[in-house]
Structure 1
Amino acid sequence: MKLTDQQLRDFDESGYLFLPDCFSEAEVAVLREEAEKIYAQDREEVWRETTGAPRTAFAAHTYNEAFRRLGAHPRLVEPVSQLFGEPVYMHQFKINAKAPFDGEVWQWHQDYGTWARDDGMPEPRAMNIAVFLDEVMAINGPLMFIPKSHKAGVLEAGHDLKTTSYPLWTLDNETVTRLAAEGGIVAPTGKPGTVLMFHGNLVHASPPNITPYPRKIVYLTLCAVSNHITKFTRAPWIAHRDFAPIEPLSDDCLLELARTGMEAAE
């Protein structure tokens, strides 16, 4: 999948792209079912809220066939390679949950701030490309972006080790207030199968989910191969160390799995 010239201009201006109906319900259904199976497992890659509800599952593409295929899907890999002008590798892969009633906050932050400070990534030539597995609504903890904030570069941040179960380099209220006054705040919502791409320096967050409605989103963090990390302080299933370019699979790889069933693929 290639981005249009207008989409490239929109991304440069706002720092993100909203791509509805990128995956069909049949494709998403396979991923949703497998995500629930992963959350039920007792493994180190699955992090939980203080209540025990799932928060995120790392590196699912290394131990689950459906997510392996998603991690090499051309609709996700090709647009990022197009933007960077070179092949990409998987820096991080996670399935983030906002469990009904128990999904906690993700504080205001920039992703590249963490990749630079913790992983030694040279430049912000990496980004998240996200796939909605559930409907994302205004009420169930959607992502919130500050448009154009990626143009501010890498901002000063503090290392928050207490707010949630996941440590994060976060921005202070004064910085967020200033950026929001300049760019506003948006919260893209959409049906399962929607895709979001956003710049590594785009300031974003998400509120808690206190509704009965789940909100699961898969994030592929794709990095230009020439921009691979240089520090190895985090677990390899959090910050990957395989810098080989991703070879995209066929466009129908998930539908093929839906047709044949997971049992035949494993």
Structure 2
Amino acid sequence: MNRGATVLDDRYPTRLSDLPALLERADPTVWDDGRVPGPLSADELAAHERDGFVTVGGLLDPAEVTAFSAELHRLATDPLVRADERTVVEKTSSEVRSIFEVHRLSRAVAELVGDERVAGRARQILGGDVYVHQSRINYKPGFGGGGFYWHSDFETWHAEDGMPAPRAVSISIALTENFAHNGCLMIMPGSHRTFVSCVGETPAEHYKQSLREQEIGTPDRDSLRMLADRYGIAMMTGPAGSATVFDANCMHGSADNITPYPRSNIFVVFNSVDNALQAPFAADRPRPEHVAARERTPVVGGSA
């Protein structure tokens, strides 16, 4: 298996042992002490440093929510988009679960990704220029939208994409109201400080399965219990138009949605241009470009 780096280069070893481990984070959360200007206040940066996430109320106004909701519906019902490899359907139904590289499929989403309200927050946290590592739309329809089991995104990006350090941040922008009962995002506050080294070797083309339901790269129950006891669990509820900005190594997940109330969001991952992907640390080959971009063109205002 191609590890992409020597053991000495890998500060976050995972999927290499039969025993899980909890490792202390070796990198900052807010880079360059937040000296890059942006929309986040000093208090918000401090909250992100402390908890690994910050919530943003009213990132989109009602008119924008309506427009982006219509765009999500257009994409989900477009036969060409549905047939594209970037579209993932639910494991137990034909409902669209996610559409990846959505900023390449939608001009409206590309403009939003480049908006200072979005990319500006990522630059501020990561200390400089950023590029889009991944973008997607997540749909969680009522009466059966599937959840996402507990995981650290960075564990996957490190193992399968070759991301060296957790110098990446995700922004989840709600287009429907997030209730505690319709599968909202859950985060363990402060868990970004602890890296969970997972067990299990990465299968070939693992992404095809994991994007529907992830098993390899998810923490064992004892580790999850320890993290939950240590950090607790916060539920990211809020109205349409609100957003959650969270660190790449936050332990997070969401439950199935068995309510009548759908939940959908635009999800963008920004990586620092100084955190270039290497060969995967625990997989035979990199995941496709639409899942993990290797081209590092910096996001500038109004474009992505």
Q: Which amino acid aligns with 2:247?
A: H
| Structure 2 length-normalised TM | 0.78
1:86 aligns with 2:134: no
Partner of residue 207, structure 1: 255
For residue 29 of structure 1, what is the amino acid of its counterpart?
Answer: T
Question: Could you state the TM-score of these two structures normalised by the residue count of structure 1?
Answer: 0.89
Q: Residues of 2 paired with 1:187 and 1:24: CA distance?
A: 22
Q: In the TM superposition, what is the alpha-carbon distance from 1:63 to its structure 2 partner? A: 1.6
Partner amino acid for 1:92?
Q
Q: CA deviation at 1:167?
A: 3.9
Q: Which stretches of structure 1, 4 residues or longer, exceed 2 Å deviation after superposition?
A: 153-168
**How far apart in 2 are the matches of 1:25 and 1:16?**
24
Q: 1:172 to 1:72 in 2, by over 3 A?
A: same
CA distance, structure 2, for counterparts of residue 179 and residue 56 of structure 1? 28
Q: What is the root-mean-square deviation in Å for CA atoms of aligned residues?
A: 1.8
Contact 1:30 1:66 in 2 (8 A): no
Take 1:57 and 1:120, find their aligned partners in 2: how far apart are those partners? 22
The runs of 5 or more residues in structure 1 that have no matched partner are: 251-266
Aligned counterparts, 1:174-189, within 5 A? 174-189=222-237
Q: Is the CA contact 2:151–2:219 (under 8 Å) kept in the aligned structure 1?
A: yes
> Is 1:66 aligned with 2:108?
yes
Alignment partner of 1:48 out of 64, 89, 95? 89
In structure 2, relative to structure 1, the CA distance for the partners of 1:163 and 1:197 (3 Å cut) is closer
* 1:59-104 deviation digits (Å, cap 9, x = unpaired): 1110211111112111011111111111000000011111111211
Structure 2 letter corresponding to 1:238 = V
The equivalent residue for 1:133 is 175
Match in the other structure for 2:294: 241
Aligned length: 250
Inter-partner Cα distance in structure 1 for 2:196 and 2:125? 20
Indicate the residue corresponding to 2:53 in structure 1: 16
Q: Tell me, in whole angstroms, the C-alpha distance in 2 between the residues paired with 1:209 and 1:157.
A: 28
1:198-253 per-residue CA deviation (whole Å, 9 max, x = no partner) reads 11111000000001111001111000001021236211111112201100229xxx
Give the alignment of 1:109-148 within 5 angstroms.
109-148=151-190
Q: Give the superposition deviation at 1:153.
A: 2.7
Moved more, 158-167 or 37-46: 158-167
Moved more, 128-137 or 41-50: 41-50
Cα deviations across residues 154-200 of structure 1 (Å, max 9, x unaligned)?
Answer: 43255696687244521111111111111111111011110101111
Q: Structure 2: where are the runs of 5+ without partners?
A: 1-37, 280-284
Tell me which residue corresponds to 2:76. 39
For 1:36 and 1:157, the matched residues in 2 are separated by: 38
2:88 is matched by which residue type in structure 1? W
Secondary structure of 2:227's match?
helix
